[in-house]
A = this chain, B = another copy of it.
Amino acid sequence: MTRFAITLEYDGRPFMGWQHQDHGPSVQQSVERAIKTITRQDIRVFAAGRTDAGVHALGMRAHFDLETRLTPFRLMEGLNAGLRPDPVAVLTCDEVDEEWHARFSCIGRRYVYKIINRRAPLTLDKGQAWRVVRPLDVTAMHQAAQCLVGQHDFTTFRSTQCQAQSPVKTLDSISVSRFGEEIEVEVAARSFLHHQVRSMVGSLALVGEGKWTAQDLQDALEARDRKALGHNAPPDGLYFVEAFYPPSETE
């Protein structure tokens, strides 16, 4: 039995999210079906993060155990062929130690949230970004966001369906940058609560529009109450970018 670690890129639009769902296709199902196509085995795949419906990934990490004589390269090629025409691609595939776990060994996760700040509807970026019509003050957003860094009770920014045991998380960093009409919010933490990134981005947009001050954001955080939430940003703009592991465990 060999444990394989893979890096996945996917367009979240046609999926109900990473995890198996009764009511629609999932990324997990696509990958497991591709494995079955080439190995005829029913294999379970574990990912670093369980992205929601419509959320994308540029570098999701996942693993699975397989009895095979295929090299990692051949396995990757076979998976990419088997995944067609689903918008899921295997970017890397490596043999890893059997102790290595995509979810439980993961010590850090990085997301990017992409906003297009303009009046006109989206065309090429439809479903791949959140359009915000009112002009956003990116400097105000970036400065206000810094109150979220560190260890906090993030109940305000947590979905009511969140299954985490504790609402206390440590946000390592958050930055807001503008590139023309595109705004990127980049966040990093060991782990996130359900809807945490989208909830933080939605509230930051209120700051950018001038509807909320930095103090309003701080008050919302301290309220530890979902009802204090400004707004939940849509899944369209959210990308799981990178998962981090202790160096010794990755290879």
Contact = CB atoms under 8 A, between A and B. Distances in A.
B121 A89 contact: yes
A91 interface: yes
Copies in the complex: 2
A121 B11 contact: no
A74 B167 CA distance: 47
Contacts of A88: 123
A87 B90 CA distance: 29
Contact of A123 (B89, B120, B123, B126): B89
Contacts of A70: none
A10 interface: yes
B87 A120 contact: no
A121 B121 CA distance: 28
Interface residues on A, range: 20 to 34
Interface in A1-52: 9-11
A136 to B, nearest CB: 18
A128 interface: yes
Q: What 9 A-B pairs come out closest when comparing CB atoms?
A: A87-B123, A89-B120, A11-B123, A11-B124, A89-B121, A89-B123, A91-B120, A9-B123, A10-B123
Contacts of A63: none
Nearest to A239: B124
26 contacts: A9-B120, A9-B123, A9-B124, A10-B123, A10-B124, A11-B123, A11-B124, A11-B126, A56-B124, A58-B124, A80-B120, A80-B121, A83-B121, A84-B121, A87-B123, A87-B124, A87-B126, A88-B123, A89-B120, A89-B121, A89-B122, A89-B123, A90-B120, A91-B118, A91-B120, A124-B128
